[in-house]
Structure 1
Amino acid sequence: MEGPSHQQDLLAISNSLEKISLHGGQPDSDLIDTPAAVSTLVDALDGQPTTPPSLYMDLEGINLSRHGSISILQVFVLPSRQTYLVDIHTLGDKAFSTQGANGRTLREILESDATPKVFFDIRNDSDALYSHFHIKLAGIQDLQLMELATRTFSRKFVNGLAKCIERDSPLSTDERVAWKAVKEKGAKLFAPERGGTYQVFNERPLSEEIRLYCAQDVQFLPRLWSHYDAKLTKTWETRVREVSNDRVTLSQSSDYNGKGQHMALAPKGWAWL
């Protein structure tokens, strides 16, 4: 992706990224847990700039898939540098069907191919959204695929988000310490192997530790997008877009299985490109 317009895109995102910080381990976030708040959120998301992408998303839940449930949808809006935590556990379908002032809904934004949404590994998130709310995602840019596409070493296996943040997100020393502390506190609460339970994502009021955990990673996604996008060739950009769409389609199939060693494998043929 080269040329004057691309350089302007990178400058725009760089200027926004300079103003993003973790505020000493306390990332800002608004909890969206009423239809009125959803309506306000939809108005805030609708009509955002698309180049570079404005919307960066993630999901948390219990066994996040068709076999589990969705607890929280995290949304980071780059131009305003604001993070929203949409309480899917409390709102259910109202989170997606409540209209904003212009009649648009969160469902329409998620299903719009004209509105880019950046996720990291869209597969199980898409599975959960489609299975529980019949949301057919479109306009997805998968950061996990962008990282794989920009490698200069083996493409046999994909990386997880934590590894990508650790290696590719430009963190200051203070931010790195804060990020690890929030991750550690959250893991102790929800990871079964650490004595936690994923039910904490459904406890209300949401604990401050879990709220911080939900808000934190999504704020790093624009940094990763900028890092990988600067390295993408046109050919790889096309491959990433096509396989991002393929992942969404696969997640909606009746035989999709979101667990297992196959999830760590690169897309077919990528290892040899």
Structure 2
Amino acid sequence: MAKQAKYVYCNDLPSVAYATRTLANSPVLIINCEGRTIGVLGGALSLMCIGTERAEQIFVFDVLALEPFKSRLQPLFRILTNPAVKKAMWDCRNDFLEIQNEYNVMMTGIVDLQLAEIQARTTVKREGDYQHKCRFTRGGCSVPLQTINQNAELFFEVHRLQGMDACIRQAGLLTAGKDPEVVAMHRAAGSSIWMNRPLPPELLAYAAHDIELIGALYEDFKKGAWITPTNEPLLVAQSMRYAYSLFYQGRVPDDDPFGQAAVLPLDVLNESPGPKVQCHGCHRMQSLSCYSVRKQGGGFEARSNICRVCQIKLLMKRAKYPITWIAI
């Protein structure tokens, strides 16, 4: 078993008060949540884990135990909504949605490390177009390279997401990975195990260890110049758009073809000017550059009814949906 992380379990007001005083003195927080199918229809928050910079101190807030004391958590919420306090996260979308749903708190100052990894592919790793395409041919829900080449317009400036575990391995960090016993529990019983009380010590340690992993990556990314004082303000703006992308889409069933997939929504890295129209798949308002556009009879242009990312999701999930064309 992996070495267990040290943490403070916060399930009453005195422990929350201590945690809040400690977190208030940290310019950077590391945040990650656990729960039942968080971010999708039927999702529920169980734990909100927050660490200080470099994960030197970790606090595991028991959302269920603290349910009667929501009104007493305002000092903590003021930290979460303070844009001067950076919040390092990995794929912030689900956590942002669940914290907003549970506490009506909209976090600010997010630095999403998943986006930093994507930016580093071109700025640091110097990946070319071929490497960009090959990312879609590997892992779950892969797409054959021939299909990608036949639909090159769909994949233009669309990025395949990478998981935190893969990034930890590639970085060669000495930090231990995820506890295989807990991973096996997930596979056997699903994410509902997070809603049981009392939570086994293994699950609490697993949740705390994720804060250590994100903290290690954040420090590694800064050392490797993936995150710098120059690019961090832009990364925060991108991360906030990333957080709101799921918030605007809303919860959908886990098997929805336009639901979660390992592909970055468009209009996140770059906020395109001009009018925005609604995608019939993910229901997000997006700029015209996010859609397929073609000439119709009579010389006028039309756009696809679903955005390019949603079309890629159909290819990844081997799903069908009628593509129609709407005059621009």
Runs of 4+ residues deviating >3 angstroms:
232-239, 254-263
> Is the helix fraction higher in 1 or 2?
1
Equivalent in the alignment of 2:62: 87
Equivalent in the alignment of 1:188: 184
* Deviations 1:219-239, CA, capped at 9 Å, x for gaps: 021221122232346775444
Q: Distance in 1 between matches of 2:193 and 2:243?
A: 28
Q: Distance in 2 between matches of 1:47 and 1:258?
A: 39
Equivalent in the alignment of 1:56: 30
1:41 aligned to which of 6, 11, 19: 19
Equivalent in the alignment of 1:8: none
Q: Distance in 2 between matches of 1:226 and 1:170?
A: 11
The equivalences for 1:13-24 within 5 A come to none
TM-score, length basis structure 1: 0.74
Q: Distance in 2 between matches of 1:131 and 1:80?
A: 26
Q: Say whether the 8 Å CA contact 1:97–1:106 is kept in structure 2.
A: no
Q: Say whether the 8 Å CA contact 1:123–1:258 is kept in structure 2.
A: no
2:112 aligned to which of 123, 142, 150: 142
| 1:163 and 2:166 matched | yes
Change in 2 beyond 3 A, CA 1:39/1:241 = same
Q: Which secondary structure does the structure 1 equivalent of 2:96 belong to?
A: helix
Larger relative contact order (CA 8 Å, sep ≥ 6): 1
Q: Distance in 2 between matches of 1:82 and 1:132?
A: 24
Tell me by how many angstroms 1:105 deviates: 1.2
TM-score, length basis structure 2: 0.63
> Is the strand fraction higher in 1 or 2?
2
Change in 2 beyond 3 A, CA 1:249/1:237 = same
Equivalent in the alignment of 2:240: 245
Change in 2 beyond 3 A, CA 1:264/1:127 = same
- Number of residue pairs the alignment of both structures matches: 230
Tell me by how many angstroms 1:253 deviates: 2.1
Equivalent in the alignment of 1:32: 10
Q: Which moved more, 1:142-151 or 1:84-93?
A: 84-93
Equivalent in the alignment of 1:13: none
Q: Say whether the 8 Å CA contact 2:40–2:251 is kept in structure 1.
A: no
Q: Distance in 1 between matches of 2:212 and 2:83?
A: 23
| Percent identity of equivalent pairs | 22
Q: Distance in 2 between matches of 1:93 and 1:240?
A: 36
Tell me by how many angstroms 1:92 deviates: 2.2
Which amino acid is 1:72 matched to?
L
The equivalences for 1:94-113 within 5 A come to 94=69, 97-98=71-72, 105-113=75-83
* Deviations 1:195-229, CA, capped at 9 Å, x for gaps: 22323212222212111211112102122112223
Q: Say whether the 8 Å CA contact 2:23–2:51 is kept in structure 1.
A: no
Tell me by how many angstroms 1:66 deviates: 6.1
Q: Distance in 2 between matches of 1:39 and 1:256?
A: 32
Equivalent in the alignment of 1:4: none
| Higher CA-based Rg | 2
Unaligned stretches of 5+ residues in structure 2: 133-157, 271-328
Q: Distance in 1 between matches of 2:34 and 2:14?
A: 22
Tell me by how many angstroms 1:58 deviates: 0.2
